[in-house]
Structure 1
Amino acid sequence: MTAERRAAERQAREAARWSREAAKARQAEHVAKQQKLAESKTSAVAEEVSLLDRTLVGALERHAVTFDSLKVKFEPQPFQPGKLAEPLVAPEWRQYEPAEPRGLDRWFGGMSAYRRAVAQAKLLYDAATASFQQAEAERVRALGAARAEYDRKVETARQGAKLYNENVDTNRDGFMQGEPEAVEWFVDKVLRASRYPNGFPREWQVAYRPENRDVVIEFELPPQQVVPVVREYRYIKSRDAMDPVVRPSGEVKQRYARLVASIALRTLHEVFSATQPQIVEAVVLNGRVSTIDKATGKKARPHLISIEAERSAFIDLNLADVDPAACLRGLNALVSPNPFDLEAVEPFIAFDLRRFRFVDSADELSTLDSRRNLLKLSPTEFEHLVKELFVAMGAEAWRTVPSKDGGVDAVATSKNLFFGGVCLIQAKRWTGLVGLDAVHALTGVMTDHNATTGVLVTTSWFSRTSEQFAQRNRITLINGAELKHLIKQHLGIDVVPGTSPPKRARASDNTQTGRLGPAGS
């Protein structure tokens, strides 16, 4: 074997060895990168879960929204014209002036050539000067225009901030007077200031009932998909694959239920912290989620939670240490047994509270002569009107039952009316607060007639404790404003309830209810 051949073989073996080592290094680098990627993806999932876990606690660390914090602090950016602020450089004669001849050149035709060069340079210098003056004038004009545009925008922004701040002050005054629109405006701002992770819906409706001093919120809850179904990621070297480790379904459901409860408590905390007790004594929160009904394939928005929280009970809670689900149970909240599976908590009747708000008596009186006043109807006429309404709403049978309290009492049946079955309906043509006693009495009548549900209709309004009791006992309450709109919607008749709550009245069960005389229902 020649020396050349042996050298060639050594080089081949050496190249093969380097190739194997390079491949091994590349493989190790690839494995390291994949493992690091798995750790990164796992950390991202852990961060998502951590944000969900801090849904309630994180909100406790933030300052409450105030009217002052909503105001705009007008601080315009300084005028920045850029290069327009830099004056152009004027041409100088020395840049154009030709060199004067020296020595013998001055005597042998040099001066004549020099004079001609000076004349030519003068022409170029004058032209450059004129061009400079024109460009500089254009710069000054553009600078002035930019400054004027800046001043215009600043003044527009200043006026906008001024108008916005004046609107904040106006709403502050209205809020302190308990004006519904002002209270709703402020609560909307409070909810808007609350920050949630990406993927959470930012939709809600707010209504304020001054007669009960409570805020009613219809809140859109996040879908189940916000809870990561993957717990971690593992890189499997033998298969060169990134495998997700699925989170147990029980844990996913538990986390979603905890999230729903945390959102409810957080919303209550934010509203109570930002409002004054003389304006907001309670918050009613209904949480629902947008989904697709698997049975029909149609869009659905089931309610997953409904709670009416009194400020006096809520402010004593130590929210930093509570178990959200247990806390809601302590507040007597109505919560879906299986939020993740979208097992709904159905309200008795879902009303748009903005539409069913009482209006001022002056507004009612403005067109009183053209509408029927419910308080001026006889008991028989009122009974007949209520009967027509419930038949239009789906009652299939109607039977009036005797009542000792002078109210219009009837039994209706329907497959779709409220929960179906037998529904006992009682109507009270009153001018004042319908307290707990009246609602409590209805449960006894329901028991006597083996009724599935009950409905109490009034021309006036209910106390908050009446509403709470009714919700726990399958009773639907319809106040005067709601009755007015239901009659308009189902019968096409415009009526006047004939009464409205006293401005900013405290809905106390100890308040004397204002009934009509013996002839009233």
Structure 2
Amino acid sequence: MSRRSAGFVGAWAEMQRQHQRQVEAEARRRREEARQVRARQRLATQEHRQFRQAEARRRTEELDAQVATLQGLLTAGCQAPVFRASSLMRAEEIPPFDPGQFAWPVLMPDPSQYQAQGGWTTNGRAQAQAAARARFERAWHAAQTAEAQRQQHLAALQRDYEQRTDAQRAEVRRHNDGVVEVTEGMRRGDSDSVVEYFSAALYSSNVWPEGFPRQVAAAFDSAARQLVLDWELPGYEVVPEAKSVRYVTAQDEDRETARPVTQRRGLYREVLAQSLLLVLHQLFAADEYGILDSVALNGFVDMDPLEFEALVADLFRAMGMQAVTTQRSNDGGVDVDALDPTPIRGGKIVVQVKRYRSTVPPTAVRDLYGTVQDVGANKGVLVTTAGFGPGSHTFVRGKPLELISGGELVDLLHRHGLRGRLGDGGRSTSAQPSPSSPAGAPDDYNVLGMTWSGRVALDVCALVCQGNRVLSDDHFVFFNNPRTPDGSVHAVPAAAPDKAALHVSFDALPEAADRFVLVAAVDPEVNPQADLSGFTDACIRLLDPAMTELGRLKVSDGRSGETALVLGSFRRRPNGDWDFVLGGKGYTGGLEQLVQEYGIEVE
């Protein structure tokens, strides 16, 4: 081989070795990158698993903490600060006036900064000095204008500040005056003040865990010194269904371990018992004026609409039918689908479930009839916790519709081995003829029947009020004015066992009305020497238009020397419902003195 060829081969071989080294280097680089990617993936996977495991532990710890809070509810509540009316007082904390940039005056120009520039001759120097003076005067006038504007803005800000702070002080004083008024009423034993004070004690408490309801309705029997309280208790869901959470690596998912049913039920019963005891503790601890001798506490749980529908479906199945609840969306106005397998009279039944506190309006019954026709059902059933008016009963006559009131529902549940109650008024009583309604009176109404022991003759009257002021003289219903202008309230003849009765359509009361007050007074013509000492065992019976008793409201007994008495008042809540607040305030000056307090001028 010649030198020339050998050099060529060597160069070629060197090129091949360099290329090979580059290939190997690239392969090593790729292997290193792959190794780093795998390392990062392993690290990311490990971090992901660690994060998911830590998250599962955190959720388990939250469940344990939630259960510990429920178990220690009474202990923590008893250790909390006691409510005092003074805690409701607000301080007049007014921030100082801060005008910001307008607090600083505008800087006036400095004459020394406006010296003549140039001018080596007499005329030139004079012109330069004149120009300097002109610049200074322009700057001075501009600064004076800016300062005047600043002072105007400052004065406006000062006026706005004073107006806002005056309004804040007035609001704080109004609030504090209200607290003082309630406190003074407490010392006197005024029923409204007592109810407001103890309701505030429960509402303002910070011992209840998040998610616990605080719905309360209260009344005070000043004669018995007893507070009657309805307090909403938490539902079953307050006890967590899950006991723990663990992370399953293989499936990359969290799995919950269910809490044993017996443990969950036991803890829920414990929560209910602690809640009632804690309410009693808070009430008596807050009684700094020694007003209460006793508390009648009624705890209730607001049933979820889905649970109510499920209960109705259970009832239909217990009656031998096939029944399922429908989906919440696109149900076409049907809550429960039922099928009666009985030949001839059976078939498809659509059921609507209505949770009402007052009488179901006739429009709901008409809507049910439309649904029956739309879906081609054999029958429609409307189930409610309340009752139905005569308009509804008239409409269903001759139609494939059936109405089940609250009392009838309870009877059916008990008859078929299911549990259910609506309170004292849950069961229906024997139907009695409904007192006739005057023309123009609303179809949807309740009857308030008054019964009492003793032979004293009384006039039972009503006032439609906004606060403690009657809307007008025409909204005072008594023997000389038997009805309000709109017919929402009118007196009717009483049917035994009642001694007096009123028709009231709560939904038709004027929008401005937030109180419906019932009072009783001795009839001076029949019993001129009588007082209310013989007025005992009194109660208001709440009836539907079919005279089915929905509930009884106890009222205070009369006292010697008093000839008029506030029995109680129905008060409109923000959601439109009406709650009854027990009265008890008596008057020695009879009905005349009583109505004067509500703004009626007596000639």
TM-score using structure 2 length: 0.51
Matched, 1:255 2:267: yes
1:348 aligns with 2:424: yes
Deviation, structure 1 residue 486: 6.5
The question of 1:152 aligning with 2:168 is answered no
1:168 and 2:179 aligned = yes
- Alpha-carbon distance in 1 for matches of 2:45, 2:556: 84
In structure 2, give the amino acid aligned to 1:347: G
Name the CA shift for 1:123/1:482 in 2 (closer, same or farther; >3 Å). same
Structure-2 separation of matches of 1:13 and 1:176: 88
Q: Which is further off, 280-289 or 52-61?
A: 52-61
CA distance in 2, matches of 1:80, 1:356: 63
Which of 134, 142, 151 matches 2:145? 134
From 175, 179, 201, the counterpart of 2:190: 179
Alpha-carbon deviation of 1:159?
Answer: 2.6
CA distance 1:146–1:49, change in 2 (3 Å): farther
Q: Distance in 1 between matches of 2:450 and 2:95?
A: 47
In the other structure, the counterpart of 2:67 is 49
Corresponding position: 1:480 with 2:538: yes
Are the counterparts in 1 of residues 233 and 300 from structure 2 also a CA contact under 8 Å?
Answer: yes
Give the partner amino acid of 2:423: P
1:208 is paired with a residue of what secondary structure? strand
- Post-superposition offset of 1:156: 2.3
Q: Distance in 1 between matches of 2:450 and 2:123?
A: 103
**Could you say which residue in structure 2 is the equivalent of 1:10?**
28
CA distance in 2, matches of 1:115, 1:232: 96
Aligned-residue CA RMSD (Å): 4.4
| 1-structure distance, mates of 2:478, 2:21 | 121
SS at match of 1:480: strand
Q: How big is the shift at 1:299? A: 5.9
Which residue of structure 1 aligns with residue 228 of structure 2?
216
**Equivalents in 2 of 1:488, 1:280: separation in Å?**
38
- SS of the residue 1:26 aligns to: helix
Once structures 1 and 2 are overlaid, which stretch shifts more, 9-18 or 274-283? 274-283
Quickly say closer, same or farther: Cα 1:11–1:152, change in 2 above 3 A.
same
Alignment-derived partner of residue 328 in structure 1: none
Say which structure is richer in helix: 1
8 Å contact from structure 2 (residues 451, 500) kept in 1? no
State how far apart, in whole Å, the 1-side matches of 2:556 and 2:35 are: 100
CA–CA distance in structure 2, aligned partners of residues 254 and 503 of structure 1: 53
C-alpha deviation, 1:78, in angstroms:
2.2
**What residue in structure 1 maps to residue 296 of structure 2?**
284
Deviations 1:455-513 (A, max 9, x none): xxxx844xxxxxxxxxxxxxxxxx31426x7699959xxxxx99614699xxxxxxxxx
Shift of 1:206: 1.0
Question: Take 2:136 and 2:535, find their aligned partners in 1: how far apart are those partners?
Answer: 93
- The match for 1:385 among 496, 505, 510 is 496
CA distance in 2 between partners of 1:122 and 1:145 (Å): 35
Paired with 1:94 and 1:246, the residues of 2 have a C-alpha distance of 87
Task: Answer yes or no: is 1:75 the counterpart of 2:93.
Answer: yes
Higher RCO, 1 or 2 (CA under 8 Å, sep at least 6)? 1
User: Superposition pairs for residues 295-310 of structure 1, below 5 Å?
Assistant: 295-296=311-312, 298=353
* Correspondent of 1:33 among 26, 38, 51: 51
Aligned to 1:500: 558
Offset of residue 94 of structure 1 = 4.8
CA drift of 1:162 comes to 2.4
The CA deviation at 1:185 is 1.1
> Aligned partner of 2:558: which letter?
S
Q: Residues 161-187 of structure 1, C-alpha deviation per residue, up to 9 Å, x if partnerless? A: 223323222222221222111111111
Q: Against the structure 1 CA distance between its residues 224 and 55, is the aligned structure 2 distance closer, same or farther, given a 3 Å change threshold?
A: same
Question: Which secondary structure does the structure 2 equivalent of 1:42 belong to?
Answer: helix
Counterpart residue type for residue 210 of structure 2: N
Q: Measure how far apart 1:72 and its partner are.
A: 2.1
Alignment of 1:262-411 (within 5 A): 262-275=274-287, 278-290=290-302, 291-292=304-305, 293=308, 294-296=310-312, 298=353, 347-349=423-425, 385-386=496-497
CA pair 129-10 structure 1, distance change in 2 beyond 3 A? same
Match in the other structure for 2:37: 19
Larger proportion of strand:
2
Q: 1:191 aligns with which of 172, 189, 202?
A: 202
Instruction: Name the residue aligned to 1:225.
Output: 237
Q: Offset of 1:190 from its aligned partner?
A: 0.7
Distance in 1 between residues matched to 2:225 and 2:188, nearest whole Å: 11
- Quote how far apart the aligned CAs of 1:237 are: 1.6
- Tell whether the 8 Å contact from 2:450 to 2:499 is kept in structure 1 after alignment: no
Q: 1:346-393, CA deviations, whole angstroms, 9 ceiling, x for partnerless residues?
A: 53348x9x99899xx9x969999779xxxxxxxxxxx98328999x9x
CA distance, structure 2, for counterparts of residue 299 and residue 226 of structure 1: 25
Q: Is the 8 A contact 1:218 1:286 kept in 2?
A: yes
Matches of 1:208 and 1:37, distance apart in 2: 50
Cα displacement string for residues 395-429 of structure 1 (whole angstroms, at most 9, x for unaligned residues): xxxxxxxxxxxxxxxxxxxxxxxxxxxxxxxxxxx
User: How far apart are the structure 2 equivalents of 1:46 and 1:356?
Assistant: 53
Tell me whether 263-272 or 56-65 shows the greater mean CA deviation.
56-65
Judge conservation of contact 1:211–1:503 (CA < 8 Å) in 2. no
AA matched with 1:139: R
In structure 1, the residue matched to 2:581 is: none
Give, in whole Å, the separation in 1 of the partners of 2:235 and 2:24. Answer: 72
The answer on whether the counterparts of 1:289 and 1:301 sit within 8 Å (CA) in structure 2 is: no
* Aligned residue identity for 2:496: L
* Deviation, structure 1 residue 118: 5.2
Are residues 79 and 386 of structure 1, via their aligned partners in 2, closer, same or farther at CA, if it must alter by over 3 Å? same
Deviation at 1:272, TM superposition (A): 0.9
Show CA shifts across 1:214-258 (max 9, x none): 111111222222222122221222221122222222222222222
Q: Any unmatched runs of 5+ in structure 2?
A: 1-16, 313-334, 336-352, 358-417, 427-445, 462-476, 482-493, 504-530, 549-554, 563-603
CA contact (8 A) 1:211 1:502 kept: no
User: Quick one: distance in 2 between partners of 1:357 and 1:176?
Assistant: 31
Partner residue in 1 for 2:590: none
The worse-fitting range, judged by mean Cα deviation, of 184-193 and 131-140 is 131-140
Alignment map for 1:455-474 (pairs within 5 Å): 460-461=535-536
Give secondary structure in 1 for the equivalent of 2:234.
Answer: coil
Q: Per the alignment, in what secondary structure is the counterpart of residue 168 of structure 2?
A: helix
Residue 115 of structure 1 deviates from its aligned partner by 5.5
- Which residue number corresponds to residue 405 of structure 1? none
- Are the equivalent residues in 2 in contact too, given 1:210–1:503 (CA < 8 A)? no
Q: Would the alpha carbon gap of residues 21 and 178 (structure 1) be closer, same or farther in structure 2, given more than 3 Å must change?
A: same
2-structure distance, mates of 1:201, 1:356: 33
Q: Is the alpha carbon distance of 1:500 and 1:128 closer, same or farther for their aligned partners in structure 2, counting shifts above 3 Å?
A: same
Question: By how many angstroms is 1:262 displaced?
Answer: 1.4
- In structure 1, what is the Cα distance between the partners aligned to 2:36 and 2:561? 90
1:60, distance to aligned residue in structure 2 (A): 0.8
Q: What letter is aligned with 2:311? A: A
Matched-pair contact (CA < 8 Å) for 1:357–1:482:
yes
